Amino acid sequence: MPRLQGKVAVITGAASGIGRGTALCLAREGAAVVAADLNSQGGESVIGEIAASGGRAVFQYSDVTSETDIKSAIDRALREYGRLDIMFNNAGLVGAVGPIESVKAEDWDKTVAVLLRSVFQGIKYAVEPMRKAGGGSIISTSSVASFLPGAYGAAYAASKGGVISLTRAAAVQLGRDRIRVNCICPGVIATPIWGGISGMDDPAVLEQELGHAQTIPRVGQPADIAAMVLFLASDESQWVTGQAMIVDGGLTVGPNLPALSAEVPSGYRGPSFKK
């Protein structure tokens, strides 16, 4: 039997990268999926692929900086499928980059809104339907940048570190409701988020530049993270909560990231599908 048979998942940032890979994975394992994203074309593509494989999925246009949009994505799951079992707060971007003294306050705020405030809102609106369902699993995307920040990515690192602390605090509160709250810290994963960094939008270039940055000498794939999401979403992890699961090919064991230490122009990098 599929590991998520009868379960319902909302995934933010589901149109590309980790979100897309996870939507496909969870659907294969029996979950009905609400794919939430700003990228309508990518979102419709992923639900089409799920449907073609016999799975169940709908696309919900969502700006994760909007509290209304996050609530609407969860409400869509309840209308379409009658329950919520899995909330994957995954949407992300690079955001504000550059020396701290050059980062604009508004770019900092926009970065935190996407990477941290959206996770708070996803947890907030998942609680009540999960209580009604008798429990559930809330999973969020943090990053190894929480532990190994790049020289010019303070806003990103601070936001992702906040995701870990928020995860732990929510786990303390919600354990009594059998709602598990965990996060995942990916390492170098081949996703569109790299497109604006050092020209590494070509997977071959990304592999050449960063494939040996970790102990396992290859760049990670969305499927590597999806496998951890699947574990945390399934009943196999029913005694796991409040954890930051590092999935990085050994990057945090002994990193070698010269490409990420190079100076980069200041600015703000938005969603990867908007060039």
Residues belonging to the active site: 156
Six token digits for residue 143: 């990053």
C-alpha pair distances (Å), 130 with each of 77, 167, 226, 247:
12, 16, 21, 26
> Are the beta carbons of 93 and 69 closer than 8 angstroms?
no
SS3 52: helix
The SS3 of residue 182 is strand
CA distances from 259 to 92, 175, 194, 231 (A): 21, 41, 12, 32
Q: How far apart are CA 126 and CA 136, in angstroms?
A: 9
The Cα–Cα gap between 70 and 66 comes to 7
Which of 213, 211, 202, 216 lies closest to 258 in space, CA to CA?
A: 213
Helices (runs of H) and strands (runs of E) counted in the chain: 9, 9
